[in-house]
Amino acid sequence: MRQVNRRLILVGAVLIVAAIGFFLFMGGMAPRSNDPKALMETVGQVSGVVGAIGVVMIGFGLRGKKPA
């Protein structure tokens, strides 16, 4: 039976929370920008990539590793 890797799950969850927090924080700053549409496009892409990395890390953590 495989062992769940809790560190990967924790880091993945932290990355997802960080991506959501970054998106919301930058959403509040967008109206003060010279080009809010371009800013939010870039922020959305960055947040999406970080969130996807977090989901993949959670998936690998849940898959686990074979015991030695």
Q: What pLDDT sits at residue 45?
A: 98
Q: Where are the alpha helices (DSSP H) in 1-68?
A: 6-29, 36-63
Q: What pLDDT sits at residue 21?
A: 98
Ordered by start, the domain boundaries in the chain are 11-63
The C-alpha atoms of residue 65 and residue 10 are separated, in whole angstroms, by: 16
Question: 14-68: per-residue pLDDT in tens?
Answer: 999 999 999 999 999 999 999 999 999 999 999 999 999 999 999 999 998 888 7
- CA torsion through residues 42, 60, 62, 13, sign: negative
Phi, psi at 35, each rounded to 5°: -135, 85
